[in-house]
Amino acid sequence: MGARPLLIDLRGAGEISLNGEAQPIVSKKTRAILSMLALAPECRLSRSLLKARLWGDRSESQASASLRQALSALRKFLRSHPSILEITQEFVSLDNNQTLVISPHPGETLLAGLDIKDHGFDDWLRHERTNHEINPGSTHERFYESDALALSDSSVVGIGVLNCLVDGEPHHGEVVGDIVTDLITREIRNFGIAETYDYRNKIVTSQSQESQVSRGVDFFVQVSVQLLEDTYFINCRFFDSLDNRQLWNGFCKVKANSGYLESNEFRLFVNNVLDAALFVFSSPGFEEHSEKRQSSKLALAAINEILKGRNGDLEQADRYLDEAYEANKRSVYLGWKTHLVAYLIGERLIDNSEEHRKRLRETVVIAEEQGRFNPVTLALVAHTYSFIFHDYDKALQIFERMFQLNPMQAICFDLSAVTNVYVYNKEQAWEQSQLAFKLGRFSPYRYCIDTTCTMAAAINKRYDEAIKYGDWATQQKPTFTAALRYLAAAKSLAGDTEGANDSYQKLIHIEPDFSVNSFLDEDYPVAGTGETVKFLHAGISRLQK
């Protein structure tokens, strides 16, 4: 490959060099265009998307005029190398073979000095920075490297990301569609079940699908957006790369305002997509793809067992996670392993011995270091610090870092709520448990979320709600001792003696040696500061008189 005359430095404000000499481009938006093209798949973006992200507050005609002016300035700047920039009626692209992109080092901020006063650009930059934190390096360089590798040897499921379909005004629809697509694929990656390959702005025809499959693309995902009056109608579908069969299709509608990404309706939609991915990628039809996708196959089997809490299969899940991590060292596999061991100790399926705690601490330290930009890993690790090691300050610090990564998944809010129960942060525990309940209503993990709602309601003396959630949790998993303890205490303090004794007897049947004095035993797997333990003690002690 020959020399690349155009250099784009993404470490500061998008500084540009041409033929080895720094070039002062006065317009920030001109530098923004080059930076956006540098980070785009195939270095190619539609004109409508550029307008929406850089001139989103202007009318269509004004935005078109501003883009034409900026592109004219770029043409003039690159007149000594006119083939670097290609401009058509629909697209703008850079020649990757003539462009060198310098990305920030891990821990450095992408385009730290480039400030464009436009909501569309701010949304784009926020998501690119998140992608950089999770996968440091040049986006388009990663794309071409992955395109050139023998992806068919990958041990992880491959998802090809296709162009968003827009019905209505493309000026805003493409931006919304790309952001939604980026968030959905980010959450799938965070869960450790798949890798994504960006085929947006790249034609994927039926003739080319065989080559995509051979390179490691097992499924395709596509988002569509329709804007009707003041509402976005968003659809997501998965389909099989082998035969184009549609495997799942989901839909949501959200108000078209600046806060749509924070709305519970949108967050629920993202969680539903993730649950669907877990289901689709672990379905019998996946066997056609899974021969070489061993890491994903093992991790999916383990995660499904953990989420459902089927005690008989958890030892196998632990082994699967070890094998998955050996084949593909993803932090989230270690995170799930720590969560599994914490569950086994909590349900007294293994002892809370010093040996188990030592090995668990070693795993937690590695997972936290490797997964510092993965909110799911951080949530799983923080819960282990909280529940097993009773290091609540450390857990809260990790949860704070997790929230800075803008998590979308119910399990992140649920585990944070649990720690807030332990430290008796009553309001936060209740708010986070309710958000987890709204986001995880269709999750296989639902019995855990209902248990957390029981705990949060109980310490807030909302006994009727605690009993409602506790009954739901024990209907789903009758042997879950965490739910039974809080449910028995809540019924007791609410004056429902008969119901409290019924829950207490179920607990005694599972743990014959349980008594109110168990809370004083350092090895007994219950966490919480003095106030939380006092609540349990007050409720349970009435049942032993």
The pLDDT assigned to 301 comes to 82
The pLDDT assigned to 398 comes to 96
d(CA 242, CA 246): 11
What pLDDT band is residue 168 in, cutting at 50, 70 and 90? low
Q: What is the pTM of this model?
A: 0.72
Position of tokens 């056609």? 288
Q: Give the model confidence (pLDDT) of 280-304 as tens digits.
A: 877 766 666 555 677 888 888 888 8
- Residue length, the chain? 545
d(CA 267, CA 242): 30
Q: Give the model confidence (pLDDT) of 316-335 as tens digits.
A: 888 888 888 888 888 999 99
Domain with CATH 1.10.10.10 in the chain: 1-148
Query: What CATH code would you report for 408-545?
Result: 1.25.40.10
d(CA 430, CA 417): 7
Q: Strands 6-9 and 99-102, how do they pair?
A: parallel
Query: What CATH code would you report for 1-148?
Result: 1.10.10.10
Domain with CATH 1.25.40.10 in the chain: 408-545
d(CA 474, CA 426): 23
The pLDDT assigned to 7 comes to 82
190-219 mean pLDDT: 64
333-351 burial code (b ≥16 CB/10 A, e <16): bbbbbbbbbbbbbbbbebe
Query: What CATH code would you report for 152-273?
Result: 3.40.50.10070
The pLDDT assigned to 378 comes to 96
Top-ranked range on mean pLDDT: pick from 140-144, 202-206, 250-254, 325-329: 250-254
Give 43's DSSP letter.
G
Top-ranked range on mean pLDDT: pick from 8-17, 50-59, 94-103, 429-438: 429-438
**Residues pairing with 389 in the sheet:** none
47-54 and 60-77 are packed helices; what angle lies between their axes, rounded to 10 degrees? 110
Q: Strands 15-18 and 6-9, how do they pair?
A: antiparallel
Residue 413 has pLDDT above 80, yes or no: yes
What pLDDT band is residue 189 in, cutting at 50, 70 and 90? confident
CATH of the structural domain 293-406, one choice from 1.10.10, 2.60.40, 1.10.3470, 1.25.40: 1.25.40
Q: Give the model confidence (pLDDT) of 209-241 as tens digits.
A: 444 444 568 888 999 998 888 888 999 999 888
Domain with CATH 3.40.50.10070 in the chain: 152-273
Longest Cα–Cα distance of the chain, Å, equals 91
Q: Encoding tokens for residue 103?
A: 């990305």
Q: Give the model confidence (pLDDT) of 65-97 as tens digits.
A: 999 999 998 888 888 888 999 998 888 998 877
